[in-house]
Chain A
C-alpha cells in the first residue's frame, strides 16, 4: 500500500518524532509507514487521517484492488 504521509507531514511542518508523539507510536513506526514497509492498522490509519483532517483514502492508496470481474463471479 502506498501513502502520502511524508508529503502531508512536510506540508504541516512536522518532524517524524513530533507526528509519532501525536499518534502515540514510535518514530520508527512513522518512518516505516512513510517508506511503505509497514501498513498501519485500521485504528491507526483513522487516527492519521483525523490528525490531518482528511480521510484514509486521501492518504493511503491500494496498489492492488480486486478487479470488477471478481465481483461478477459472485453475481454482484
Chain B
C-alpha cells in the first residue's frame, strides 16, 4: 500500500479520507487537546485545590479510554484489508512493547529508576512505525 511516512507518523492512521477516519481524527485530537489543557492547568492549582489531584489522577485514563473507544468505532468502519493492516501493526507493537518493557524494567530495577507507567504512551509512535511498515507490504 502506497502511503506517506509523515502522514502515518503524524496521525497514526493510513491517510484513508473517509468520514469515519476524519471523525476519529477530529475527536481524538480534541480529547488530546483537552487533556493537555486540563493537565497543564491543574499543574498550577494542585497545591491550592487538593481535590484537583483526583482529576489529574483519573484524567489520562479516561482520555485514553475515550480515544480507544473512538478507535474501535473507526476500526469497525474499515474494510478487511485496512483492518488487517491495523491489527497486524498493533500485534507487532505489543511484541515490541513487551521487549522494551522488559529492558526498561530490568535496567530500571538495577539502576533504581523511578519510571512511571504514564510513559507507556511513547509506544504510540512505535505503533505508527509498524503501521507504516505493515502497510508497505500490501
Contact = CB atoms under 8 A, between A and B. Distances in A.
Bound pair (A, B): yes
Contacts of B84: 38
Given A37-B137, A38-B138, A25 B1 contact: no
A18 interface: no
A44 B1 contact: no
Contacts of B16: 26, 28
B82 interface: yes
B128 to A, nearest CB: 18
B138 A32 contact: yes
Nearest to A32: B138
Interface in A8-53: 24-26, 28-29, 31-32, 37-38, 40-41, 44
B138 A26 contact: no
B80 A25 contact: yes
Interface residues of B, number: 10
A40 B84 CA distance: 11
Contacts of A26: 16, 79, 81-82
A32 B1 contact: yes
A32 B79 contact: no
Contacts of B80: 25, 29, 40-41, 44
Contacts of A32: 1, 81, 138
A24 B82 CA distance: 13
A38 B81 contact: yes
A44 B1 CA distance: 19
Interface string B1-28: 1100000000000001000000000000
Contact of B1 (A24, A28, A40, A41): A28
A32 B16 CA distance: 15
B82 A29 contact: yes
Scoring A28, A37, A40 by chain B CB atoms within 10 A of each residue's CB, the highest score goes to A28
7 contacts: A25-B80, A26-B16, A26-B79, A28-B16, A28-B81, A31-B1, A37-B137
